[in-house]
Amino acid sequence: MCGRYATTRTPAELDDAFGLRLPDSTARLEADYNVAPTKLAPLVVGRTEDGAPGVQRELLAATWGLVPSWAKDPAIGSKMINARSETVAEKPAFRRAFASRRALVPADGYYEWYAGPQDAPKQPKQPFFITAPDRSVLALAGLYEFWRASPEQEWLITFTILTTSAEDAQGRLHDRAPMLVHADAVDAWLEPVRRPGEELREMLTPATPGPLTAYPVDRAVGNVRNNGPELIEPLPLQQ
């Protein structure tokens, strides 16, 4: 499961990375080194317009934890932070979004907690930060939805992150990892049209150590109230 990540780029920096429209609502987005479920975060979506070629990429401010359009209570979103890529096309909560509301979740990296070897004395889990070796922004694969309780209310925009079964070469860290969208497939992924599920899955790759790098960070990240650049500073493996 991907349950915490960092996203610290400004809207202008995300525009440089992805080429975006920046609605006024994105001005409220701030650097967040400890994004947790139900928090507001940047989301890149695709729009198509009559007479305009290709896909127009737009930045939105959205809440992490997808609320299906049919939900009676938005609190369900706290349980919908991840969607399994293996079953997303069939699950009622995600299949409509997977069909035509796909997104990018910009991230500096994400956190996973390592419990240590099974035969070692039990220790507190060690958090690792998993990021690009060059610290470039990651494009995590996401889905989004619009929800409101009544026509008089504003739309709530929510999202989820797609995950897959993945480990590092030694089988460590977590058995689930977020999916990345291939750079050459971004527009196809974002285009709000139906595509075969297998075609969509071929646009993704697991965000795991190997193509990415992982290093220990402070256990302070376990408390969502902690938020600052010190959370992603490399540390020796804590004992």
Note whether residue 238 is domain-resident.
Answer: no
* Residue 53: predicted pLDDT: 72
Q: When comparing pLDDT for 167 and 76, which is higher? A: 76
**Is 49 within a domain?**
yes
Q: Work out the average pLDDT over 26-53.
A: 90
237, part of any domain: no
- The residue behind tokens 């929510």 is 158
pLDDT at 132 over 50: yes
**Number of structural domains, the chain?**
1
Q: CA 114 to CA 234: how far, in whole Å?
A: 15
Question: In the predicted model, is pLDDT for residue 239 greater than 60?
Answer: no
Q: Indicate the pLDDT class of residue 51, thresholds 50, 70 and 90.
A: low
Cα distance between residue 79 and residue 77, in whole Å = 5
CATH of the domain at 138: 3.90.1680.10
Query: Band of the pLDDT at 54, cuts 50, 70, 90?
Result: confident
Q: What is the pTM of this model?
A: 0.92
Residue 212 predicted with pLDDT over 70: yes
Q: What is the pLDDT of residue 26?
A: 86
pLDDT (average), residues 18-27: 89
Which positions are catalytic? 2, 112
pLDDT at 210: 78
Instruction: Give the confidence band of 108 by pLDDT, cuts at 50, 70, 90.
Output: very high
Distance CA 56, CA 47 (A): 5
Provide the residue range defining the domain that includes 227: 5-232
Mean pLDDT, the chain, rounded, equals 90
Q: Which residues contact 173 (CB under 8 A, 6 or more apart)?
A: 112, 114, 128, 130, 167, 208, 209, 214
Predicted confidence (pLDDT) per residue in 147-193, tens digit: 998 888 999 999 999 999 866 554 555 568 999 999 999 999 999 99
In percent, the amount of the chain with pLDDT more than 70 equals 90
- What length does the chain have? 239
Give, in order, the Cα–Cα distances in Å from 68 to each of 3, 65, 72.
19, 10, 9
Let me know if residue 239 belongs to a domain: no
